[in-house]
Each structure stands twice: as C-alpha cells, then as structure tokens.
C-alpha cells in the first residue's frame, strides 16, 4: 500500500530533501505551500510533476499556518498516514523583529495543526520540527533530558510547540514526535543563515560582485550537520513502534569564525581581508554554545550521519561556486581567474 504523507514547509530546505526521500520510498507526498506573488517552489521544481500526468505522486495545496480552517480541510481530505510539520518562521534574528508573528506561526500554527488532526478523528503520525535553539544557554552537551532555557522569541515559540506535541501525545494518544534537531545546512539553506551567507559571499567575492562580507557575532558555536542526513532521522522517528522525542546532531561544535576560516581557506583566501562586523546582525540575547548528545537517536533509530563539518563546508562552497559559474563542471574544463587568484588551481594544491 502506498503511504500518504503531508509536509508543511515543503518549499523549505528540509521540506525539499524530505520530499525526495519519501518519493524514493514510493510515498504519495502532499505539500502545503503559501500563496506568493512570485514563485516560491525553487527547491522542489526539479521533483514537481504536472498533476494531470498519470502516476503523479506529488501534490501541492495552498494554505497557511495562520488558517486553521484550511489546515482542517486538507487533513480531512488527504487523510495522511504521516504528517511532517516543518513550516515555521524559522529565522532567529527575524523573530526579535517579529515576535508576535513568530508566536502566531511557529507556536500557535502547531496547535492549529494538532487540533485539526484531533477534530478530524483521522489516525495519523505527527512529526514536529523542534529545535536545539530551545536549549538556549543550557550547558552542553544537550540531550533529551536537558532543561530548555530559550533565548529568543523563535525559541520560546518552539518550546511552546514542543509541549503542545507532548500534550496531545499524552492527552489524546496521538502518535506525535519531537525531533530536536541541531543546525543542519546544505546548498539549499536559506541565504540569510550564516553558513550560506558565508559560502554565497565567497562566490560573490570571487566573481567581483562583492568585496566585503558583513556578519555579526563570530564567537557563537554551533553543531552543524548536513540536512539530507537529518531528514532521514525525521522519517525514522515516524517508523518506530511508539512515539518519542529525539535529539539529532553530530556532536561536534565549531564557531562561526571556524566556519569562516575553513570556507575561505578552501579557496585560498584569508577571511580577515573580507569580513567586517555589522552590529545589526547581533541578537539581543545570543545562544553561545550548542553541542548535541544524540546517543538515544543513534541507538534507537540507528541514525548514523556521515558528513562532518569539513565535508559540509566543502559541499556548500562548491555548490555556491557552481551556481556562480565558477566550478568547472566535468573534467578538463577551464580554470577561472578572479582578482589574480587562480582559485581552482590553488584549491587543488591544498
């Protein structure tokens, strides 16, 4: 029997990788998308199929997390076996500018979905995209037993959603899981998150489109992993016999400065020649140090990530180089020169 999944946030980084994973497992995938005046489906265009085509397994539906009626309609009509709730106002810095909106979408949006499930009477499994940001300044390493000490409106909203998920699990016997994921990145990462901002910045510097990169706090440390491996953990959680909460992360922490060093050195540049600090990117309250203890997930889900920090940096720099037309595609192609730097040749000698 073909399983049916509903993904909120299908147009986001994680939604796009999860869709690929579920389609590869022969799921019928339904995705919630927001109406927008410009196209917002870039990350899934390569897998989207015309719904008129026979055998199509991916379907998109308009909706918004602030519209409980439409969420109810969709759940009632689609009757998904599994719901992956990934949609959110997901930017921590932006949540300080828009705390009320972030609460409405990231916190109450989850309640709207949970209520839609409860009222529909449909038996389904539910995944909540919880976040390591919930740990805030709780001492590392952080695991499922660490107390939350949220440090942003975004983190507060995620803590609320986390507890609502547990509440519905205990109160209504809903198969609902919290995946507490640490930062995970990829070439599809939103352009304003720090890793992508850096790798995209490097490509722009090398193509003379930018000569400075403005950043905020370089001392903060994060446990950065590779997004395609993290969506596998989401899937695994919903395949278990009983619902539970799991921490997902590499167990390796690096500062933003270390990311800069690694990424710039990969193309033989010194980050200090290009990076400037702009206070606008500082947060009123910062999360200084995140480090995952994902022992439980590794044991119970048999989740085993392979891409480490250095690999991740390379994957992201290479991808942004390619997007900027800098990477030779295939063998024996030309070497590019920018600012007198023969970056491809230099990189190869490293």
Give, to the nearest 10 degrees, the angle between helix 13-24 and helix 227-237: 60
Let me know if 152 is a catalytic residue: no
Residue 105 or 260 with smaller CB distance to ligand NAP: 105
Question: Rounded distance, CA 29 to CA 22, Å?
Answer: 7
**CA angle (224 as vertex; 222, 225 as ends), nearest 5:** 160
State the nearest-atom distance from the C-beta of 14 to ligand NAP, in Å: 3
Q: Choose, by CB under 6 A, the member of 173, 192, 304, 308 that binds ligand F7E.
A: 192
Q: Please, what's the b/e burial string for 189-206 (b: 16 or more CB within 10 A of its CB; e: otherwise)?
A: beeebbbbbbbbbbbebb
Let me know if 132 is a catalytic residue: no
Is 222 a binding residue for ligand F7E by CB under 6 A? The answer is yes
Question: Using CB under 6 A, which of the segments 64-72, 190-198, 308-316, 340-348 binds ligand F7E?
Answer: 190-198
Q: Choose, by CB under 6 A, the member of 89, 110, 120, 294 that binds ligand NAP.
A: 89
Is 217 a binding residue for ligand F7E by CB under 6 A? The answer is yes
Q: Which does 92 bind (CB under 5 to 8 A by kind): ligand F7E, ligand NAP, none?
A: ligand F7E
**CA angle (171 as vertex; 104, 64 as ends), nearest 5:** 25
Question: Rounded distance, CA 177 to CA 44, Å?
Answer: 25
Phi, psi angle pair for 62, to nearest 5°: -70, 145
**The residue to which tokens 């595609």 are assigned:** 329
State the nearest-atom distance from the C-beta of 340 to ligand F7E, in Å: 28
Q: Choose among 38, 46, 87, 50: nearest CA to 65.
A: 87
Q: Choose, by CB under 6 A, the member of 12, 68, 150, 249 that binds ligand NAP.
A: 12
Question: Using CB under 6 A, which of the segments 20-28, 44-52, 145-153, 179-187 binds ligand NAP?
Answer: 179-187
State the nearest-atom distance from the C-beta of 150 to ligand NAP, in Å: 13
Is 114 a binding residue for ligand NAP by CB under 6 A? The answer is no
Q: Choose, by CB under 6 A, the member of 105, 233, 234, 247 that binds ligand NAP.
A: 105
Question: Rounded distance, CA 163 to CA 169, Å?
Answer: 10
Structure tokens at 72: 């109810």
3-state secondary structure of 337: strand
3-state secondary structure of 249: coil
Strand blocks (E) in the chain: 4-8, 28-33, 58-62, 82-85, 125-131, 175-181, 184-185, 213-215, 221-222, 225-226, 245-248, 254-255, 275-277, 337-338, 341-342
Q: Choose, by CB under 6 A, the member of 220, 265, 315, 341 that binds ligand F7E.
A: 220
Is 133 a binding residue for ligand F7E by CB under 6 A? The answer is yes
Q: Answer left, alpha or beta for residue 136, where phi above 0 means left and psi between -120 and 50 means alpha.
A: left
Q: Which does 30 bind (CB under 5 to 8 A by kind): ligand NAP, ligand F7E, none?
A: none
Q: Which does 222 bind (CB under 5 to 8 A by kind): ligand NAP, ligand F7E, none?
A: ligand F7E
Q: Which residues bind ligand F7E (CB under 6 A)?
A: 90, 92-93, 131-133, 182-183, 192-194, 197, 215-217, 220, 222, 256, 281, 283, 286
Q: Which residues bind ligand NAP (CB under 6 A)?
A: 8-9, 11-15, 32, 34, 36, 40, 64-66, 86-90, 105, 129, 131, 181, 183-184, 190
Q: Which residues are catalytic?
A: 131, 133, 154
């Amino acid at each position: 029997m073909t399983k049916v999944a509903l993904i909120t946030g299908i147009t986001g980084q994680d939604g796009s990788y999860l869709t690929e994973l579920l389609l590869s497992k022969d799921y019928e995938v339904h995705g919630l998308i927001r109406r927008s005046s410009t196209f917002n489906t870039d990350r899934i265009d390569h897998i989207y199929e015309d719904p008129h085509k026979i055998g199509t397994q991916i379907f998109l539906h308009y909706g918004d997390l602030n519209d409980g009626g439409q969420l109810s309609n969709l759940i009632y009509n689609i009757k998904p076996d599994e719901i992956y709730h990934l949609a959110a106002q997901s930017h921590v810095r932006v949540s300080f500018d828009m705390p009320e909106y972030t609460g409405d979408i990231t916190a109450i949006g989850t309640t709207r979905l949970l209520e839609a499930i409860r009222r529909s009477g449909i038996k389904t499994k539910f995944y909540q995209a919880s976040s390591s940001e919930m740990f805030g300044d709780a001492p590392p390493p952080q695991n499922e037993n660490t107390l939350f000490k949220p440090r942003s409106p975004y983190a507060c909203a995620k803590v609320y959603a986390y507890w609502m998920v547990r509440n519905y699990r205990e109160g209504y016997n809903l198969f609902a899981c919290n995946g507490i994921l640490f930062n995970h990145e990829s070439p599809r990462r939103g352009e304003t998150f720090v890793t992508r901002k850096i790798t995209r910045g490097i490509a722009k510097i090398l193509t003379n489109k930018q000569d400075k990169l403005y950043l905020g706090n370089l001392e903060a440390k994060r446990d950065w992993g590779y997004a395609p491996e993290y969506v596998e953990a989401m899937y695994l959680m919903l395949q278990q016999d009983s619902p539970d909460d799991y921490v997902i992360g590499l167990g390796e922490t690096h500062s933003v400065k270390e990311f800069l060093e690694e990424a710039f050195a990969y193309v033989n540049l010194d980050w200090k020649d290009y990076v400037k600090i702009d206070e606008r990117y500082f947060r009123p309250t910062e999360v200084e140090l995140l480090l995952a203890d994902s022992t439980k997930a590794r044991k119970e889900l048999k989740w085993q990530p392979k891409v480490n920090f250095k690999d991740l940096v390379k994957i992201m720099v290479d991808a942004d180089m390619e997007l900027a037309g800098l990477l030779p595609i295939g063998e024996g192609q030309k070497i590019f020169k920018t600012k007198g730097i023969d970056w491809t040749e230099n990189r190869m000698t490293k």
